[in-house]
Amino acid sequence: MTPADLDRVHSTLSKVTTAKTRAGLKREDWLGAAAVFVLVFGSTMPILVPFLLVQDARTALRISNSIAIAIMLIAGYAFGHLVEYRPWWTAGSMVLLGCLLVALTIALGG
């Protein structure tokens, strides 16, 4: 890049005006954030409930894992049905992927 090119870039950038107003959150932004919160809470809470209701940690973990697998199965089936691509195959793939991710997390010390 030559000094003339740098001068041309500098003059172009110096003419750019900055925004006079601050960006703010709109109603849609708050609604989107609330929707994400509800989705995360709604998908996480059923998995946590066994730990609140069952005294034995191993039993609570098995129940929690069963609930998580059921949620993945339902979500996978719904997704497969939505995209019109073999719902049961999609559901099984989602469960398999979820189980592999949990196994990887455990193997890494999580």
pTM (2 decimals)?
0.64
Contact criterion met (CB below 8 Å) for 59 and 33: no
Angle at 109 between CA 44 and CA 46, to 5 degrees: 15
The number of beta carbons lying within 10 Å of the beta carbon of residue 48 is: 12
Per-residue model confidence as pLDDT tens for the chain (110 residues) = 788 888 888 888 777 766 667 778 899 999 999 999 999 999 899 999 999 999 999 999 999 989 999 999 999 999 999 999 999 999 999 999 999 998 999 899 87
